[in-house]
Structure formats: structure tokens, C-alpha cells
Amino acid sequence: MAGEARVVVEGLRSGVPYLEMAREVVLGRDGSMANVRRLLEAVEQDRPPRVPAYLYRANYGEGKTHLLYSLWGMAEERNWVVSLLTLSRETPLDRLDYVYPKLMARTYVPGSRHPGCERIVRQALEARLDLAQARALELSPRVEAVWENLTNPNLKAEEYALLVADIGGDFLSINDLKYIHRQNHGQALKIKRSPFKDEVLYYFHLMDWLIRRSGYPGWLILFDEVELIGALGRGGRSRAYANMGRFLSGFLPHTVTVWAVASNFESDVLMKRHDREECPAWLARHPREAEAAAACGSAIDAVVAAPLLDPLPAAKMQALIAQILDRHQEAYEWHSPFDAAALYERVRSLLPTLDARLRTWVRVTITVLDIWFQYGEDPLITVEALREVELDERPEWDGGSDDEPEAGPVIQRQPLF
């Protein structure tokens, strides 16, 4: 038990949240937890909510990511499949064909710490699902062909692994898929080539269906650092909002999404760059993307309406500090000479203001306990204010043109056969 408690304390000290710590140390976000719980319950009862998503905003250091991990733990206890993805320049929301492979690499079935979709696919196949059920999903010819070949009873082990990897985002070339099909069916697969960015929504549909048919109630997707949409140019931001809007629209019937956004995103990006007016208009000017303008606008409205995680009130902060004190004593097998109430007063006296960020409260608490454990006295420390993340926009392509170049898919196999 001491070892487990030490892992929790080390996680708090480093400021890097993880699942076990989020379960052990609750940060008083009962309202947010209840809101997401209601969404999960609606999906479990086949009553998909009108907006199967929860968005929230918070200052840097106020526990945005910790809340995501707490939601992960809650969903896992309900037997949900969970994915957690941090957006970045390498995983931008404007390109779902970049997002999907990274998301699948961070997808976990309940009780497993090994990510991926193999278990989901295997359990769906064991449920004896036929091709007709998949066809009812109106998948693309490519994705339908992947599933059709997976259901072939004579499929070789090597080809099975390649097809499962394809569903997991390690996309097969069209030539390799055609080769596998000919090996299984003795005839040519007649489908046209299409870019992965046009196929990826069908992969999401298939995964959403497979998760439910594998016996899980649903799929919870957690998006962190959504504010990094601000690093994209205007075209990229427009597409990113539109993709967020697709998830908010409920196009996946067994999926709930949660979006954590920095509190300064509205002022530094949405308002400063006039995104509510200009991004839907940008899409509307491009015929191939005009239909996404409405989704773009609805996503921006949802971000603006997202509740702000307020600083914890004194009672909840005292309860949190009491939890940290218990874990610290358990971790290092010592007995503090003062109780949780006295520790709260010690920490409060070291902070410049009572509305200091949650991360600051936690780290100062750990520091006070560390010094007392080692030296038996109060520390002399200086607390600096945490700064918000900067949401700088990258330069537009082609010297400021609205038209950004189309990049290739994030993962492409070399021909195998």
C-alpha cells in the first residue's frame, strides 16, 4: 500500500496526472462528473442525448487534465471503452485522418493497460456478427471491404493482423487490400482509390459499432488541450471547429466526447481573430467544404458556452489537502505532527492570494509535507504565479493564402505484396 500511495504522491508532485492518481485523489469536480455521468447513462439506455458531449474551460493549473482522468476512471467502472488524446501540432483537429491513428493508439478497454483495438475486433467477431449488419451502417466501399475480409472464416493469421491494424489506423494501401481480398475470395476487389481524409469518418463509424457489438456500453473520447486549435491557420481552425461540430452532432450513436479548453481561448482566439464570423464564412466560400459551415458555427458556440471550472471553495480545498496528507503519511510511513486543518492554514499562509491555482495549492502542500518529513520544520518558499499557455497562430501557407495544402495521411504502409 505504501508503494501505491507513493506513486500517487509522486504524480501530484510532478503535476502529471494519470488514471490511478485521479481515482485516489478527488479534486471536487462533482458537477462536471455528474454531467458526464448523465450522458453515459443516456447512451447506455439507447437514448442518445441531443448533444453527446461535454465541454469545459479552465485556467492553466486548475485541473483540466486531472478531471479528464477522473472521467476516464468513472467510465471504466461502467465498462466503457475510453480514449484520451492530447491535441498538438502533430495531431491537429483539422485532420481527422491524423487524429484517428493517434486516438486508436490511446484507446483502452476496461481493465487493460494495453491500448489498441484488437480485443474489440476479436470480441465482435466472436459475437458472430455478419456482413449484413455492417452494411446497414452505410460504410464506404473500402471500410466495408476491410470488415468483409475480417469475417472470412478462412482468413490467414497474417492477413487478420494486417486488417486489424488497418482498423487501428495503420492503414493498408489499396493494393494490399485488393491482394488480401483476392486471396480470400478468389476475385478482384473493384473499388476506387480515395484519400484517407475522406475515409476516416467511416472508420469512426465502424469503431463505434464494434465497441457496442463487443459488449461495451459505449465509447468515451477525451480531448485535452483543445486550445491548440489556435496554433492553426484560419483554414485549419475552420476545419477543426467543423470536426468538433461533427462529434457534437451525435454522428456516432454510442460515443460521448469531452473537451478540455484553456479559459483564455475565447479571448485570445475566438474574439481576437473573429472566428465566429470568419471561420464558417471561410468554409462557405469553398464549395467542397461549404456543408461543414453549420457544424463549425455550432462548435464555436459550444466552446463559448462551456462552463468555467471555478477555483475550489475553502471546504473542498480543505478536503483535498486532507486527502494529500493521508496519502503522504501512507507513502512514507510517517505521522505528521499536525492535522489536515493545521496543514491547510500552513499552506494558505505561504500563498500570495487565496485564489491561487489548484496546481499551486497541491505543490505547496506536497512541499510543506516533504520538508516536515525530512527536517521537521516549515519551509521558506517563494510562490510564482502560473502563466497561461500562449495560443500563437502559425504562419498561413503560401504567404497568407486561405488555401492550405493537402498533406498526405499520417500513416501509410509501403506495399506489402
What CATH code is carried by the domain that includes residue 86?
A: 3.40.50
Please check whether residues 181 and 225 belong to one and the same domain. no
SS3 107: strand
Distance CA 252, CA 143 (A): 16
Of 289, 305, 321, which closes a domain? 305
CA pseudo-torsion sign 361, 366, 371, 376: positive
Please check whether residues 99 and 234 belong to one and the same domain. yes
Please check whether residues 105 and 244 belong to one and the same domain. yes
Please check whether residues 221 and 299 belong to one and the same domain. yes
Residue 401 lies in a domain: no
Predicted TM-score (pTM) of the model is 0.86
Q: Which one, of 250, 153, 139, 274, lies nearest residue 194 by Cα?
A: 139
Residue 249 lies in a domain: yes
Please check whether residues 106 and 221 belong to one and the same domain. yes
Of 257, 272, 305, which closes a domain? 305
Please check whether residues 67 and 144 belong to one and the same domain. no
CA pseudo-torsion sign 348, 350, 352, 356: negative
Q: Which one, of 248, 250, 258, lies nearest residue 226 by Cα?
A: 258
Q: Which one, of 71, 78, 85, lies nearest residue 36 by Cα?
A: 71
Residue 183 lies in a domain: yes
Of 305, 325, 356, which closes a domain? 305
In the numeric block, which cell numbers belong to residue 92?
491537429
Q: Which one, of 105, 190, 366, lies nearest residue 358 by Cα?
A: 366
Please check whether residues 248 and 187 belong to one and the same domain. no
Distance CA 151, CA 130 (A): 7
- Domain residues for the domain of 46 are 29-110+216-305
C-alpha 2: how far from chain center: 31
Three-state SS annotation for 365-393: HHHHHHHHHHHCCCCCCCCCCCCCCCCCC
Please check whether residues 187 and 222 belong to one and the same domain. no
Please check whether residues 228 and 299 belong to one and the same domain. yes
Q: Which one, of 331, 256, 358, 286, lies nearest residue 51 by Cα?
A: 256
How many structural domains are present in the chain? 3
Residue 239 lies in a domain: yes
Residue 279 lies in a domain: yes
Per-residue model confidence (pLDDT) at position 27:
67
Distance CA 135, CA 132 (A): 5
Task: Give 266's DSSP letter.
Answer: I
Please check whether residues 152 and 292 belong to one and the same domain. no
Residue 209 lies in a domain: no
Per-residue model confidence (pLDDT) at position 13:
86
> Phi-psi bin for 199: left (phi > 0), alpha (psi -120 to 50), beta?
alpha
Please check whether residues 323 and 351 belong to one and the same domain. yes
Please check whether residues 246 and 276 belong to one and the same domain. yes
Distance CA 44, CA 48 (A): 8
Distance CA 20, CA 11 (A): 10
Residue 334 lies in a domain: yes
Tallying the residues shown for the chain, one arrives at 417
Residue 414 lies in a domain: no
SS3 295: helix
Per-residue pLDDT of the chain (417 residues; tens, 9 = 90+): 678 888 888 888 887 776 777 776 766 688 899 999 999 999 999 998 999 999 999 988 888 888 999 999 999 999 999 999 999 988 999 999 999 999 999 999 998 889 999 999 999 998 865 556 767 788 999 999 999 999 888 899 999 999 999 999 999 999 999 999 999 988 999 998 899 999 999 999 999 999 999 999 999 999 999 999 999 999 999 999 999 999 999 999 999 999 999 999 999 999 999 999 999 999 999 999 999 999 999 999 999 999 998 778 888 899 999 999 999 999 999 999 999 999 999 999 988 776 688 888 999 999 999 999 999 988 877 766 656 556 666 544 333 334 443 333 333 344 443
Per-residue model confidence (pLDDT) at position 354:
65
